[in-house]
Amino acid sequence: MRIGIYNNETAESQRVTKLLKAEMKRSGLTYVEEDPDVVVTIGGDGTLLSAFHHYQKELNKIRFVGIHTGHLGFYTDWRSFEIDDLVDSLVNDSGQSVSYPLLDMKATYSDGQMENYVALNESTIRNITRTMVCDVFINNHLFENFRGDGLCISTPTGSTAYNKSVGGAIMDPNSIGFQLAEMASLNNRVFRTLGSPIIFGANTELILRLRDENGHVLTCDRDQWMLKSEKERYLTELSYSVSKQRINFAQYRHNDFWSRVKDSFIGGVH
């Protein structure tokens, strides 16, 4: 089995990377920089997000394992002092995995060009110069006219990230769908939106048609673009749907999602 390692640049992550490579070599595991079967990320959830996008074209043949060297993350199961146990799991790997749905995003510009992205956590669209206005279509039917700070579209596993901060619901990662949450929507007798998170099913397409040409900031996980009108080229539409791709984690001891939620946001029960 071919093992890749993707780490951040902190001193602790560098130390753990060196230790992991040494233990893998002693155990007869093969370290590779290209075409891995399993990718071990060392850092936190941000590092795993970066690794996900780095290996995005190879998701169908890669499983991920996360070691966290800082704060406890949702995607990182192992601690830096558990290297021996992790290496034993890699040596005895039988291909076991757990997978989660992803989010497809398509951006369309005024010149007809389109760009495609895949998100593990979420995509957001905001306007930082004025109130954002867009028409929201569900399966090509106009649902509402949104006016506010912006919108957050998240995956089930990403529902505990930025989505939760803007008031979105937490989704069970075993569900196949995605979620739309509003950021500071304007609701009065002139402008009216649903005002609550919406959870869509596997076959739903969400379309956002923007009314303004300038000032938009688009994100996909950790990537961000400030979109400006240049020579009649500006963002006009975003469409979202459940991706045909999925992310796979090596299930050596992949922690239960709801246990992660409890530990992260509730803590001990008194």
Question: What one-character-per-residue DSSP string does 178-219 give?
Answer: EEEEEEEE--SSS-----S-EEE-TT--EEEEE--SS-EEEE
What tokens does 155 get?
A: 């995956």
**203 has binding-site annotation:** no
Region of residue 216 (left: phi > 0; alpha: psi -120 to 50; beta: else)? beta
Give yes or no for residue 270 having a pLDDT over 60: no
3-state secondary structure 28-60: CCEECCCCCCEEEEEECHHHHHHHHHHCHHHHH
Domains of the chain: 2-96+251-266 (3.40.50.10330), 102-245 (2.60.200.30)
135 is in an annotated binding site: no
Known catalytic residues?
45
165 is in an annotated binding site: yes
Residues 121-127 have a mean pLDDT of 97
pLDDT tens digits, residue range 199-244?
A: 999 999 999 999 988 889 999 998 998 876 566 688 999 999 999 9
According to the model, what pLDDT value does residue 114 have? 96
On the question of pLDDT at 263 being above 60, the answer is yes
Residue that wins the pLDDT comparison between 75 and 228: 75
pLDDT value at position 45?
92
**In angstroms, rounded to a whole number, what is the distance separating the alpha carbons of residues 183 and 158?**
16
Could you tell me the pTM of the whole model? 0.92
Tens digits of residue pLDDT in 161-198: 999 999 999 999 999 999 999 999 998 887 789 999 99
pLDDT at residue 229 in the model: 58
Q: Please tell me whether 161 is known to bind a ligand.
A: yes
8 A C-beta contact, residue 179 and residue 163: yes
Q: Which pLDDT band, with edges at 50, 70 and 90, does 75 fall under?
A: confident
Q: What is the mean pLDDT of residues 5-30?
A: 96
Compute the CA torsion angle 222, 148, 209, 242 (nearest 10 deg): 50
The answer to whether 164 is a known ligand-binding residue is yes
Tokens for 17, please give them: 């990377």
* Percent of the chain topping pLDDT 90: 80
